[in-house]
A = this chain, B = another copy of it.
Amino acid sequence: MVSTDRIESTLLEALEHASGNGCPPKLAEAMHYAVFPGGARVRPKLCLAVAMACAEDSPELVNAAAASIELLHCASLVHDDLPCFDDAEIRRGKPSVHRAFGEDLAVLTGDALIVQAFQVLGRAGRVAPRRLGELLCLIGDSVGGPTGIVAGQAWESEPKVTLVDYERSKTGSLFAAATAAGAIACGADPNAWGKVGDRIGEAYQVADDILDFAGDPEKIGKPVGQDAVHGRPSFAIEHGLKEAKRRLEHLVSSAIRAIPPCPGRAAMRQQVAMEARRFTPDEPLRAAEAAVA
């Protein structure tokens, strides 16, 4: 698939730059380990899909935006897996970075991937400076304070948090950035597209809550039941599986309806529906249906 090639080759190029001549070998290895092989690459695919739907005119900048967002996602996984958070043993079916390389290198790998996300933008932005400032603000805000994914993770250290604040920061913000960045990188309206990403992100989080609540750890490559263990807000825990399924369907169709007029609108609608099916956890939902039947 073309967009997969674009994503993987841009990520590989970014990693080659960041771990090139003079890099401490273990850091170089750990950075590569944290990014390859990837997960579903949902966020960068979404970014590229928006750009293609908008008849992109600056593919280098689009690739950089997509890679930047995926690097930030990978960095957040490395840090969230640390012993002071989830202490996850397994990620993407192999030992988490701190289990494979030690806690020190896991902290630095996350740091280096965050910085790399901005190095990638900077290199592409020198070629297409016009849209760089807006892209940098958007991606920075989706990760940092006050409501980016770092803030989302920090809500876990507060005594009280609402489901909406938590999930919007922890997951929604980077999805909204993925679609809005695709739009900015080709001169389209980031606000309209940001809403699409926001809803897809919320759908993805509900799906993730369902998987954690009732999924099969073998199939998803990570342990389940973590939301309950860590006392994290979860739609599935709060409202039950049946309501979670209804919410998920509503969010996906609302995302599809929010797609603004653009040259590739029909294809984009199809792609969102297809990707949504991919991350919809069939098995626990079927179990839920059977339970309420």
Contacts and interface: CB of A to CB of B under 8 A. Distances in A.
Interface stretch (A148-156, A201-209, A214-222, A268-276): A148-156
A201 to B, nearest CB: 16
Contact of A19 (B20, B103, B145, B169): B145
B112 A145 contact: yes
Contacts of A115: 114, 140, 143-145, 148, 150
A105 interface: yes
B22 A144 contact: no
A24 B158 contact: yes
Contacts of A26: 154, 157-158
Contacts of A132: 125, 129, 132-133, 136
Interface stretch (A36-44, A48-56, A79-87): A79-87
B133 A27 contact: no
A150 B136 CA distance: 21
A223 interface: no
Nearest to A137: B122
A293 to B, nearest CB: 41
A231 to B, nearest CB: 13
A127 to B, nearest CB: 8
A134 interface: yes
Interface string A111-142: 11011101101110111011011111100110
A137 B119 contact: yes
A264 interface: no
Interface in A54-91: 75, 79, 82, 84-85
A141 B119 contact: yes
A12 interface: no
Given A111-B114, A115-B140, 4 more contacts: A23-B146, A24-B155, A118-B136, A122-B137
30 contacts: A18-B146, A22-B147, A22-B169, A23-B146, A24-B157, A25-B158, A26-B154, A27-B145, A27-B154, A28-B146, A85-B107, A104-B156, A105-B154, A108-B157, A111-B150, A112-B144, A112-B154, A114-B115, A115-B143, A115-B144, A116-B144, A116-B145, A118-B118, A119-B136, A122-B140, A123-B133, A126-B133, A126-B137, A129-B129, A129-B130
